[in-house]
Structure 1
Amino acid sequence: MTSALRRASAFALVGFASVIAPVANRLFSPNIGTLLAVSPFLLLAGGLHFVESGVVFELFARPGDRRDGQLYGLAGFSLSIAALVLLALQFDMPVAVPVAATMILSVGNVGARLVRATGREPIAATAGFVVGGFIAGLGGFVLSGSISGVLPSFPVLVFLAASGALLAALLRSMLFERDDPLVILSVGLLLWLFADLSISVTTTGIAIALGITVALGYVSYALETASLPGMLTGVLLSLLTIVIGDYGWFAMLITFFGGGGLASKFRYDEKVTRGIAQENEGARGSGNVLANSLVALFAVLAAAASPRLTGVHPDLFLFVFAGSVAAAMSDTLSSEFGGLYDAPRLITTFEPVEPGTDGGVTWQGELAGLAGAAVIAAIAFVAFDTITVGGAGVIVASGFIGMTVDSVLGATIEGQWVGNQGVNFLATLSAGVAGAALALATSIVVV
């Protein structure tokens, strides 16, 4: 057993102690239960100050801990568990959440280390993390729910465990090992949000959702249209969109993912020559995926929470979602196809600029962008009875607005104040806001 695998296993054993929380909550009063559930982790974090060598130090020490002479990694790990347990026992968080979040990360790390020990590719190690984290998270939910007496349906538990494992894998692919406390807290807060939304899903539904998203994620990675973090981001967003929204929402999102990825690969060598090619050989990373999809993710979550938590009709957020995705599709197609043509002009002054100049547009690119928005609008029109011809027009208009905002921001503030991903986010945000405003203004949606 390698030292890294041995260390990951030791951390997992510490993480299993989180099951004290539901036991203490069930057997004792809230105050006593909280004290009993949190004390082991606080005592562990405090006591590590005196451990500077020996068997325990060698078992848990990470490279940075050896340099500093303190087990800061284990201390942070313990404190993050204690923080989640406190939130669960003092607020309206299911007590199973800290247990599941801790097990997802700790066992997921073991799974990844086991695969890495065989010398396989990074995607195999990531798969090991997701599988190990998923199984452990599901077990944590079942065990904690059985103890506390609050156990959601099995399909919902599968969804929660899968979402948590994917988010943890994504964060682990982007962060350092010392950032595990941030991963635990992030997964815990996400699971708390989903538990509060009262999500409903059938066994068949979750099986189809997992099958579709994992297959499409692997294809995107195999075709090199997305990096590993980008693939994980896309899989997580797709799963959430299918389960929390439905297949119509997912169809719009996956059309952007697929269409945008293929457009980046189109005549790639020529784009390299022109200096307009997407970096990483056209493979989109997590930052790019999130910048174009964050508004859509907010919209699908807000729709699921409506009208119970927002007081707003869910259809309003459908237009936010469709408008933002239409803008992402429009901007991507406009850039990837329009950049192949000569004589672009700066959108703010219409003066000729070199291909690839931020804010430079061509009429061919504008037509491609409008076509992309029209595709998203057509999907919405077919998938949703509430989307009329007028509603489809609103989506196309929103996409065009977002594409134009992206070009204007590229010509004015990109590179000085914000980067490309920031511009993409602001463009999709403006499109989402425009979609909601136009839907309200035309009385397509009545709040």
Structure 2
Amino acid sequence: MTSTVRRAGAFAILATLTLAVPLFDPVTAAPVAAAVLLAALAITDGPLFDLFAYPDDYEDGRLYGLVTFVLAASVLGLLSVMSSMSTAVFVGTVLLVGYGNFAAAVTHHWTDNTASHAAAFCVGGTVAAVAGHTITRTLADAPIVSPLPEIVFLAVAGALLAALLRDILILYDDPIVMLAVGFLCWLLAELVPGLGAAEIAVATVVTIAVGYVSYAVGAASVAGMLTGILLGLLTIVLGGYSWFAVLMSFFAIGSLSTKFRYDEKVDRGVAQENDGARGSSNVLGNAAVALVAVLGYAASTADLQLLGEPNPELFLFAFTGSLATAMSDTLSSEVGGVFDTPRLITTLEPVEPGTDGGVTWQGEVAGLLGAAVVAGLSYVVFPDVGLVGAMIVVVAGFVGMTVDSLLGATIEGTIVGNQGVNFLATLAGAITGGFLVFVVAVI
């Protein structure tokens, strides 16, 4: 057994101590956390130090990895006492991170395939989180308020986010991962509607299958695959398959457009890096606003009293407007990049292909067609989107695409990067869609 596996196993056992909270009570469990924290600060060498130490800990002679792990768990534990976060979410989150890391470490001992490591983490973390949630309710002699499908959904969503963050961050940055997963599961526990076993099973299988195919065909990296699966799962559960269909239309058509005359774009220096495989930053840059719109829609339809008297339709058009922008921008860039004589959108002066803010008439037409595709699909799958609504989506997509070009010509590369521009452009498309539908409703 390698030191990495032993360390991960030790942290998993440590995570199991969180079951002392429902078994006794938070006041009794607090001294346990304090004792572990003091021990972590006091131990500077020896077998226990070697068991819990990360590589960087040896340089400082302190178990900082263990200290931050305990502190992060303590923060979640405190929230479970002082807020609406349930003890089950707290325990499930800590066990998810602890046992997910252990499963990934064991798999890493057998294979160097990063996708296998991510899959092992998700499986191990999901099983541990479901077990932690259920055991917590049992030890506390409380009814399992959330039905099992909802518990599984929270566990799967948390595991996907954790695996994604582990891929983006350093592998032993567990405190950030734990806190992020805890807050996500806390939010989803408030928003998630009643789910049946079949619904959560189908949603999980569909999103994992789509994500794996995107990875297998080279359309997404491991991080991009995890991000896509998480976004897809949340979209299906919180919005529905209609929302998922619109989201997937962007990913599918966008990926195909990336491969359009790819060798020629490589020669021109305008091709998507990593052989066209989209990473997490690219996926989030284009779809983060859409995800916020889905969350807003779920909050507006739930009895949370968080948004006053919100109009769910505004979030629907923010969602479609942001994705129309993402589709327009992607197609205009991928198609327009193979044509000569692009012009800078701010001055109309000729520029080299690939210049930020450079546009071609072919790219503009492709972008409008992309917005029209999202609008047409939205018209078909959303009863609330009529002909006027579809026109609003097209306008929102065009406005967002234009904002992307303007930002590219003015601040990209100096103030914000490409993904930041994508985010701001999709935000502009979302605001335009929501504003226009509000104006139409008032008129």
| TM-score, normalized by the shorter chain, greater than 0.5 | yes
Q: What is aligned with 2:256?
A: 262
> CA separation in 1, counterparts of 2:171 and 2:68?
11
Q: Cα gap change, 1:254/1:159 in structure 2, threshold over 3 Å: closer, same or farther? A: same
Q: What is aligned with 1:304?
A: 298
Q: What is aligned with 1:9?
A: 9
Contact 1:358 1:407 in 2 (8 A): yes
> CA separation in 2, counterparts of 1:266 and 1:41?
56
Contact 2:285 2:420 in 1 (8 A): yes
Give matches, 1:395-410, under 5 Å.
395-410=393-408
Match of 1:303, SS state, is: helix
> CA separation in 2, counterparts of 1:35 and 1:378?
57
Contact 1:37 1:85 in 2 (8 A): no
Structure 2 residue 120 is the aligned partner of structure 1 residue 122: no
**Residue identity in the other structure for 1:252:** V
Deviations 1:105-133 (A, max 9, x none): 11111111111111241111111111101
Correspondent of 1:288 among 282, 296, 319: 282
> CA separation in 2, counterparts of 1:304 and 1:150?
25
Give 1:49 deviation, angstroms: 1.7
Q: What is aligned with 1:223?
A: 217
> CA separation in 1, counterparts of 2:31 and 2:234?
35
What stretches of structure 1 of length at least 5 have no aligned partner?
25-32
Q: What is aligned with 1:386?
A: 384
How many positions carry a matched residue from both structures?
437
> CA separation in 2, counterparts of 1:378 and 1:147?
52
Q: TM-score with structure 1 length normalisation?
A: 0.96
Structure 2 residue 34 is the aligned partner of structure 1 residue 34: no
Percent identity for Structure 1 against Structure 2: 51
Q: What is aligned with 1:21?
A: 21
> CA separation in 2, counterparts of 1:79 and 1:159?
26
Give 1:437 deviation, angstroms: 0.3
Q: What is aligned with 1:205?
A: 199
Off by >3 Å, runs of 4+ in structure 1: none
**Residue identity in the other structure for 2:234:** L
Q: What is aligned with 2:365?
A: 367
Structure 2 residue 129 is the aligned partner of structure 1 residue 137: yes
**Residue identity in the other structure for 1:199:** P
Structure 2 residue 346 is the aligned partner of structure 1 residue 348: yes
Contact 2:192 2:238 in 1 (8 A): no
Match of 1:93, SS state, is: coil
**Residue identity in the other structure for 2:342:** P
> CA separation in 1, counterparts of 2:143 and 2:338?
58
Give 1:18 deviation, angstroms: 0.8
**Residue identity in the other structure for 2:137:** G
Q: What is aligned with 1:27?
A: none
Q: TM-score with structure 2 length normalisation?
A: 0.96
Deviations 1:161-185 (A, max 9, x none): 1001000100111111331011011
**Residue identity in the other structure for 1:270:** E
Give 1:352 deviation, angstroms: 1.0
> CA separation in 2, counterparts of 1:365 and 1:80?
48
> CA separation in 1, counterparts of 2:222 and 2:234?
18
How well do the aligned residues superpose, as a CA RMSD in angstroms? 1.3
> CA separation in 2, counterparts of 1:40 and 1:79?
12
Give 1:150 deviation, angstroms: 4.4
What stretches of structure 2 of length at least 5 have no aligned partner?
none
> CA separation in 1, counterparts of 2:98 and 2:192?
27
> CA separation in 1, counterparts of 2:332 and 2:3?
50
